[in-house]
Chains A and B, each alone.
Chain A
């Protein structure tokens, strides 16, 4: 063996040993957390079964709670969401909806539904948020406040709500999250038991896909019908019923979901509110609370209550899920790096000495090391450097232990609150616990590496997307085998009205912001257009144009093949599609509403991109597509409407946008 070969062999062997040892230690840690979680769950169940003999609604001492609801382009669901929050069972609550520069009819819908009127006064406080355009009160609902402000992202919107409420506590909740009717009464329990010490409390997030939601409440709990959301149910159970509970037992809970968490208003203000420069603001705010309160030598608690549930829909496509997980991974790295001074310092108690280092090792490094192991170890075995037993040990520690820990999470749920009542659903959950570790887990290691690369590159594209909206696409789903990571509610269109809501909608692909468009390209028409309902086609095209990935329109019969879950069909009747307008092809950009549209423009190497422009001479054929409600405006007597049902138009095919090159990693 040459010296180089010897060095190489040694490196490979050492890496292999390191990986296996790493996983031995990490899984030992996970196992400890899971076991502690069972004890914590037992105590929680006992506590939940004891209800003191006084009435919440009779007592003048219950703390008031403000539901702070950031909303961006939630026109479709905001009215019902607010209605369901107004009917939550709690003695003293206020609803603060923060319209974060929506470009759709969110504010208009609220104004109409709740008889809102502008408060004719400036806000007399300095609010650490983007400028507030106006504050609205309802003439009929005393406890509803609506804040209309410039777009600034979820953190910014939360800060506006936190600064404008007078309540002792606030509950950060997503606009499309569905809460159990008594969830607020339950999640404030730590503040009732220890009103002086409790600073934050979180509940459980569960997957609403395929659940029956009526009148703003989940009436029937079912498992999703498809595998990807089903696996995420598994992840959520493990993250909350093992991870969070275990960390709570260790007095080291560093995560409270942004979709449903209650905080002391004054404490969050003291730390300056939510940070704007992070994606996982919920993770960040809890870590900073730990840091601040430890620095101030304050005796405090951060609690997790497994019983109150907030329901949210999760992505059902790998593409959307991958985007979320990469974004979550980057946010986690940001927070871990920002809180590095807490690591291994006794002044921060267990959070600093144990929890944060373990969390970093397990959640941040774990997927990376595992991914590396999947590549290195088979190669090493093939080259004869490591024997097969080594690789099997690795698989045992990852896949085998992963299944065990997943099933442990299911056991916790069944043993305690048992929302999945059907044994058949439980069996399916156990199956998902297996399925998760063959393919999905490995895929997540790729996603983690991709996320790390984007983090190291300082990729700003997601920052721009985050400013666009946070209602659906930005929320991270829970992690893989790791307990206690951020769950910020991957919510898509969970309607809270009288309609039943089934399955995850991919509205994530359509919540494109037009603020950037309006600001940078002079498309003032977009703001006006999105006052209209259901301008999905417009947002859809705008998103593709923003990504500027080379591609083409392809005629297909399956609307889910291309970008998003729909496409364009040709029709003479614009009512056929979603909304009341469509796109016509024309050489005059001013034909449609506004002063521009979209063109297919070839670049130097001939690849076509969809771009937004006011100059149609840039496009193929010196023309482009404008949006209009009149199908006769352009060339011909019809145009293209956006739809998910290709049968709506002429023929049975539609045009979807197919990306030619590998764009952001998961197209």
Chain B
């Protein structure tokens, strides 16, 4: 036994009062947590048991009215529903409005009006907090019901998400002057970048009329954040069918941007514009730009663009690049770009594709093109390896997409 232990215990004694208080606090906290937890669980369970059959009945009735009758008579039906039933019906409406289009969606939109969703949404935009506004904007877009422009411009400009959602409402409702107002909303305060929802909205809005976007880009592109520049270029890529005679000089200018990702996005944007001779003339010989490009990812994007253009000048530039490319992934991108033009058999001397890439000149292969050793120990030209890889994968892509072949094999496709 330790002599005089009391000195030690006295020095570190925990006051019983403190300990008792701690026990009481802990017990009270535990009791509170248990009560709240079980309370929530019981409430949720009761709600679910009550609502599950209601939802099933409502779904059945909704579909019957939508497809089984000439007139759905939504107003009459809604008038007979309880608060709980209306709540569940609203939830069902959300699901179906996201799935259906055309007349079915129009009919369901009328149900939304019968439920008073449109009016409530307008009130929420005017008087509600952030989450009320955001949900209201989604409802108005689903119902394709645009409120007064002033309501949106007054209450839905605080955050990029609200602005995108407001622009989406205008798009869904096919309002006049959609493009101008939509672009103003989306690019207000020059956001750093968009969410995917924002990018998609920018695309949809600009698809109706790309002029406002291109005019804004032509004026302000250089001042934007690189992330925003990249995203706008991404959208531009998908607008090639509606661009008309819009000024795209800023896209060409982006080919010289200091950020590799912006240069890459610029090349990706241009791959759909090979038909534009004026643009092509402004770009000049792609091979010069590519040869001077230090970033492999940018070169890969350039190869994709040249491959998409596919004319003699572009393929010649690709062939020249094939002799000099040193990066593995860029090389594969190059092979993919050349594949549609050379086919699975590779370069054809009779077609003027010689000298075949990778063979090198009298001084041997170019730096970085020194032959690797394959699994069989033989030297493998790097471009040949990329070509073979590309060719094989293209073969499998064709096989997998060949529905007639799948039927013959008796295979069930996903």
Chain A residues within 8 Å of B, Cβ to Cβ: 1-2, 5, 8-10, 12-13, 16-17, 46, 49-55, 59-63, 86-87, 115, 117, 119-126, 137-142, 191-196, 383-387, 389-390, 392-393, 396, 400-401, 403-404, 407-408, 410-411, 414-415, 418, 420-423, 426-427, 430
Contacts and interface: CB of A to CB of B under 8 A. Distances in A.
Contact of A54 (B8, B33, B48, B197): B197
A408 B26 CA distance: 13
B2 A384 contact: yes
A421 B168 contact: no
Interface string B392-406: 110011011100011
Nearest to A266: B297
Contacts of B345: none
Given A384-B2, A411-B33, A125 B196 contact: no
A124 B386 contact: yes
Contacts of A420: 41
B38 A427 contact: yes
Contact of A137 (B3, B19, B396, B401): B396
A34 to B, nearest CB: 11
Contact of A390 (B12, B195, B231, B400): B12
B12 A52 contact: no
B396 A139 contact: yes
Interface of B: 1-6, 8-9, 11-16, 19, 22-23, 26, 29-30, 33-34, 36-38, 40-42, 44-45, 48, 98, 131, 134-135, 137-138, 141-142, 164-165, 168, 172, 192-197, 199-201, 203-204, 227, 231, 234, 238, 328-329, 331-332, 374-375, 380, 382, 385-386, 388-389, 391-393, 396-397, 399-401, 405-406, 409, 411, 413-414
Contacts of B16: 389
A195 to B, nearest CB: 6
A421 to B, nearest CB: 6
B193 to A, nearest CB: 5
Nearest to A55: B98
A189 to B, nearest CB: 9
Contacts of B98: 51, 53, 55
Contacts of A59: 196, 200
Q: Which 6 A-B pairs have the closest CB atoms?
A: A142-B400, A53-B141, A384-B5, A137-B396, A1-B3, A121-B388
A53 B172 contact: yes
Given A119-B396, A122-B388, A192 B413 contact: no
Contacts of A123: 389
Given A122-B385, A140-B406, A140-B413, A60 B238 contact: yes
B138 A414 contact: no
Given A49-B135, A50-B134, A137-B396, 15 more contacts: A53-B165, A54-B204, A62-B196, A120-B388, A121-B385, A124-B382, A125-B329, A142-B397, A193-B195, A195-B199, A385-B2, A393-B22, A400-B23, A414-B40, A423-B38
A61 B196 contact: yes
B20 to A, nearest CB: 10
Contacts of B199: 61, 195
A122 B9 contact: no
Contacts of B382: 124
Given A51-B138, A54-B168, A421-B48, A407 B14 contact: no
A301 to B, nearest CB: 13
B200 to A, nearest CB: 5
Given A16-B12, A17-B12, A195 B4 contact: no
Contacts of B142: 53
B1 A384 contact: yes
A401 B38 contact: no
Given A52-B168, A137-B393, A140-B406, A418 B44 contact: yes
B234 A61 contact: yes
A395 to B, nearest CB: 10
A192 B44 contact: no
B168 A383 contact: no
B45 A421 contact: yes
A378 to B, nearest CB: 15
B13 A389 contact: yes
A49 B91 CA distance: 11
Given A195-B196, A421-B45, A430-B34, A87 B414 contact: yes
Contact of B42 (A9, A55, A139, A423): A423
Contacts of A140: 399-400, 406, 409, 411, 413-414
Contacts of A390: 12-14
B44 to A, nearest CB: 5
A146 to B, nearest CB: 12
Contacts of B15: 389
Given A139-B400, A140-B400, A404-B30, A426 B414 contact: no
A24 B300 CA distance: 57
Contact of B2 (A119, A142, A383, A421): A383
A552 to B, nearest CB: 47
Contact of B40 (A16, A54, A120, A415): A415
A13 B138 contact: no
Contacts of B397: 142
Contacts of B194: 195
Contacts of A404: 26, 29-30, 33
Contacts of A387: 9, 13-14
Contact of A121 (B9, B200, B389): B389
A357 to B, nearest CB: 26
Contact of A53 (B168, B329, B401, B405): B168
Nearest to B36: A411
B30 A141 contact: no
Contacts of B8: 9-10, 12-13, 385-386
A408 B33 CA distance: 7
19 contacts: A1-B4, A5-B3, A49-B135, A61-B234, A119-B389, A125-B332, A138-B400, A139-B409, A191-B196, A192-B196, A195-B194, A195-B231, A383-B5, A384-B9, A386-B9, A389-B13, A407-B30, A420-B41, A423-B41
Contacts of B238: 60
A61 B409 CA distance: 35
Contact of B12 (A138, A196, A386): A386
A396 B26 contact: yes
A50 B33 contact: no
Contacts of A414: 37, 40-41, 44
A192 B199 CA distance: 10
B92 to A, nearest CB: 15
Nearest to B195: A193
Contact of A192 (B1, B195, B328, B414): B195
